[in-house]
A and B are shown apart, each in its own frame.
Chain A
């Protein structure tokens, strides 16, 4: 997984070249930038198999996963996203609460003054996907998404959010 390549091409703007030169003379060594993703489940649902698998997938794709796990609230997730300067929030949904919970997450992020993209995965019927996208969810991943698809979807969501903001 060549995260470095992907990220070199996306997040930084035209100052990239200048930065490179400046980095050479900087007195703090540079480290690879890594995407930081908050993973969580909202509400009472206890199915975390998928969330744990996604955590490993994203780690194996070179990302840093801030794993919050089960029984989170929109407040606890927003707090984490803020403090960890997360590039994206990943939510796993299984209990048909997605139509209420996912939009609530998007609203909470916006209310906190952030534009962190929210990616939803798990069990979302096809007919609800557009509703979620209209509510501001960045991407909805189906249950059969491969590891590569999951990692790419997260990267794409981050890129899109950065593009929106600039």
Chain B
């Protein structure tokens, strides 16, 4: 007869330790989900095992909250967006119906680059990689019938982020939802654009000014909004190593902190609303070590270097996306397994939010079926595997602790280099690293090294350079019809006809004027312009008139 008594074991925390008592108090104060925290066989398990510091205790290596997933599972935030705003609106509603708990918006390439659908650059790209947004009218369609006070929306956009945020706030207002009640994130991480994703518009310094304006604005008026999602995902996708992803991302975070403080905001007023976005790649333990190191490093630097006193400022809360670049076009069904393992790493690494890629994503935007399987994958990890019952379950494992330390060590070496480049300022070091090609060079080197290993067969990618028999083939792929572009163009023409061009002209002039004045917050004139149904590109150009554009020097 199996004994259901709790096992006595060295892994069980010492109840008499001060750290454990603090942990107990914090845990008991948390509201928990109403399910038994037991194994499948009915064995009750503790919320945490092993040594302090415990989750929710500085430096938060083991997790940002004491009760972690016992209180709330990670947000299952599935990225969506394609075609017209109506198409995406329907996809949003389907996601909410299917149990997704947050909306995540992908924009099309022209929108990401601050161009309208009728720009010559947009030909063939409208509505393909995401939803096309040209004016406030599109934003209104995008969120039609969705109560913005009841959802958390993440918007993945960078260069034109200020304009998109303004449009979102404007839509909320028109629907009677106060700005201050809006919850969500806007990616708005311009540093990584110069380093990896290349969706920049203006040169670095004016772009950072826009970011700090948005930090100031949200601090004052949208306290539930996260104004920057400091991202490593793209850096990793561009080919960096795990340690480079970790270090470049956190360094960018430090840089934004320095910039916002220089712009006059107290660190504890905004740092708590900075969040992060990491990649979850295939080397299982390297990723878990990376996530744990991220929390430890951020907490230490925020406290010791930047003088944060509020605990919230020290928490590295992050969203994770499984590695798109690891998905293969060959035998795409294998990707379901890859994503499951990467999702598991994210959960074991303590992520706050997770997007799982669809198996067909190496080839095109996901079909609805593939997107559903991806969501189900997360749900299986959350509800069937039991990993959510215990916080930081791998903490204390010798390999995991060593990996965490190793990731931290490599990251610190990179911080030292940037500090040196910037003469004691990480912000200046990041600017310098962008200017002299340090980031893109390291990333290109790592990418090439990986490629060589795969080419030489020293690194196995299943279905690609080994085990290549069989496979289901590519199946049905999502096709964006050419009609999408036509419809969007018509919509745009329509809006332009109905608006008051004089009001638009005046509003745009005000934007340019504000851009020329470094201490003026750009958000206010942008909000005004958005209300007149000025287009995205018009507002972008109004700032470009003052800031100029950025042309990258190619480092290969």
Contact = CB atoms under 8 A, between A and B. Distances in A.
A80 interface: no
Contacts of B128: 95-97
A127 B554 contact: no
B455 A147 contact: yes
A48 interface: yes
Interface string A37-57: 000000111111100110111
B447 A95 contact: no
Contacts of B198: 46-48, 70
B556 A45 contact: no
A29 interface: no
Contact of B124 (A69, A100, A123): A100
B473 to A, nearest CB: 8
Given A43-B109, A126-B474, A143-B362, A55 B552 contact: no
Contacts of B554: 67, 69
A113 interface: no
B129 interface: yes
B444 interface: yes
A46 B197 contact: yes
A44 B455 contact: no
A67 B554 CA distance: 8
A53 B125 contact: no
Contacts of B124: 43, 97, 99-101
A80 to B, nearest CB: 13
Nearest to A48: B198
A126 B363 CA distance: 9
Contacts of A57: 451
Given A44-B109, A44-B110, A53 B199 contact: no
Interface string B94-125: 00000000000000011011010000011111
Nearest to B328: A144
Contacts of B135: none
Contact of A53 (B110, B121, B330, B451): B451
A144 B115 contact: no
A142 interface: yes
Contacts of B129: 45, 95-96
A91 B112 CA distance: 21
A101 to B, nearest CB: 6
A126 B461 CA distance: 20
A69 B363 contact: no
Interface string A67-83: 10110000000000000
B464 A144 contact: yes
A44 B125 contact: yes
Given A45-B125, A142-B329, A144-B330, 11 more contacts: A47-B197, A49-B239, A52-B447, A69-B552, A70-B198, A96-B129, A123-B363, A125-B474, A126-B473, A147-B455, A148-B455
Interface of B: 109-110, 112-113, 115, 121-125, 128-129, 193, 197-199, 237-239, 325, 328-330, 362-365, 443-444, 447-448, 451-452, 455, 461, 464-465, 473-474, 477, 480, 552, 554, 556
26 contacts: A43-B121, A44-B113, A46-B199, A49-B237, A49-B444, A49-B447, A52-B444, A52-B447, A53-B448, A67-B554, A69-B554, A95-B128, A97-B128, A100-B123, A100-B124, A101-B124, A123-B329, A123-B362, A125-B364, A125-B477, A126-B473, A126-B474, A143-B328, A143-B362, A144-B461, A144-B464
